[in-house]
Structure 1
Amino acid sequence: MIRTIYLIILLGLVGCASTSQSNKQLELFFSSEQVTLTAEQHRKIIQFFSTFSYNQITATVGPAKLNNKFEALLHSQKRMQNIEKLAQEHQIPLTLEYSPQITIDTLLLRSN
């Protein structure tokens, strides 16, 4: 009986710890030609910023799915500028990264 109670408590603690880690990241996807944020993306980013307003946040942007690699880089830079503008408006410390290795048309926000 005592073992069962300990097991339930342990599972509860592990569940709480894993839940808090998964909430420290936000993953958003863009369409290939999209450089601005949709209303839903804007809302999710603002909510993430308000949740982790006292943490350093890292924004990792992947390349756009375009045939021309230079155009793909420019699209990613415009996306990064939009994220940076939102962070400045809400006074959030933000580190921007461009990562051609992550999934195409993806934005990852992580709280450090």
Structure 2
Amino acid sequence: MKRILVVIGCLLVFGCASPPPLTSLTLFFSPEQISLTSEQQRKISQFLADNPYHQLIAKVAPADLANPFDALMQGQKRIHAVSKLAESQSIPLHLEYAPSQIADTLVLQRQSP
């Protein structure tokens, strides 16, 4: 009985001590950046690996450019770069253009069940 309580206690302590899985990832871009840096690719790949069976949403904001059309095009190129990375891992992404989001950001989120 004492051993069972010790095992249950250890499981609770170590189970509660492990960090919760990330449910979102925010990336920042420079205004002229259209491709992903190696660090951004690593972070996205890790996020996708941690959430392989969840529907993910990628929300991208326009670039901070004076011309709205160019800003939209930058956002589309960023979405394309992220979706290519997700496709390579066979993980579905729901892509959203978020014009009210902070400029030059991309947010990956796990949809809640």
| TM-score grouping bracket, smaller chain normalisation | 0.7 to 0.9
Q: Distance in 2 between matches of 1:103 and 1:20?
A: 26
Any residues of structure 2 matched to 1:13-28 within 5 Å, and which? 20=20, 23-28=22-27
Runs of 4+ in 1 over 2 A off after TM superposition: none
The structure whose Rg is larger is 2
Q: Could you list the runs of 5+ residues in structure 2 that have no partner in the other structure?
A: 1-15
Deviation at 1:20, TM superposition (A): 3.2
Per the alignment, in what secondary structure is the counterpart of residue 91 of structure 1? Answer: coil
Per the alignment, in what secondary structure is the counterpart of residue 100 of structure 2? Answer: coil
Question: Over residues 10-56 of structure 1, what are the superposed CA-to-partner deviations in whole Å (9 max), with x where a residue is unaligned?
Answer: xxxxxx6xx637x2000000000000000000000000000001100
Q: Distance in 2 between matches of 1:100 and 1:91?
A: 27
Q: Could you list the runs of 5+ residues in structure 1 that have no partner in the other structure?
A: 1-15
Structure (1 or 2) with the greater helix fraction:
1
TM-score (norm 1): 0.81
Which AA in structure 1 matches 2:92?
Answer: P
Q: Distance in 2 between matches of 1:93 and 1:72?
A: 25
TM-score (norm 2): 0.80
What is the aligned-residue RMSD (CA, Å)? 1.7
Aligned residues: 96
Per the alignment, in what secondary structure is the counterpart of residue 20 of structure 2? Answer: helix
Amino-acid identity (%) = 48
Q: Distance in 1 between matches of 2:32 and 2:66?
A: 12
Q: What residue is the counterpart of 2:39 in the other structure? A: 40
Per the alignment, in what secondary structure is the counterpart of residue 46 of structure 1? Answer: helix
Q: What residue is the counterpart of 2:57 in the other structure? A: 58
Deviation at 1:93, TM superposition (A): 1.0
Question: Over residues 42-88 of structure 1, what are the superposed CA-to-partner deviations in whole Å (9 max), with x where a residue is unaligned?
Answer: 00000000000110000000010000000000000000000110111
Per the alignment, in what secondary structure is the counterpart of residue 37 of structure 1? Answer: coil
